[in-house]
């Protein structure tokens, strides 16, 4: 398997629980075709840690 590195930059924006649920739902639906299994989230504030999010189907 060949690895690919991707750098992505965007402007931070606020999001609520419903928006996050929609993003994760779309990721679970669309990412498997690209072998993407996780994402990173931050609220954009200085010193805010990146949070890895598992985008695969929810675990029981």
Q: What is the pLDDT along the chain (60 residues), one digit of tens a residue?
A: 566 666 666 666 677 778 878 877 888 888 888 877 777 766 666 666 666 666 666 655
Residue 54: phi and psi, rounded to 5, are -75, 120
**12 found inside a domain:** no
Residue 25, pLDDT score: 84
* Number of structural domains in the chain: 1
**2 found inside a domain:** no
pTM for this model (two decimals): 0.51
**3 found inside a domain:** no
Residue 48, pLDDT score: 63
Residue 50, pLDDT score: 60
Residue 43, domain extent: 17-54
- Three-state secondary structure along the chain? CCCCCCCCCCCCCCCCHHHHHHHHHHHHHHHHHHCCCEEEECCCCCCCCCEEEECCCCCC
**9 found inside a domain:** no
**8 found inside a domain:** no
């Amino acid at each position: 398997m060949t690895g690919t590195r991707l750098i992505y930059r965007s402007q931070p924006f606020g999001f609520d629980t419903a928006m996050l649920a929609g993003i994760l739902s779309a990721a679970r639906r669309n990412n498997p075709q690209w072998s993407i299994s996780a994402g990173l989230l931050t609220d954009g504030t200085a010193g805010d840690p990146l949070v890895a999010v598992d985008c695969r189907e929810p675990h029981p």
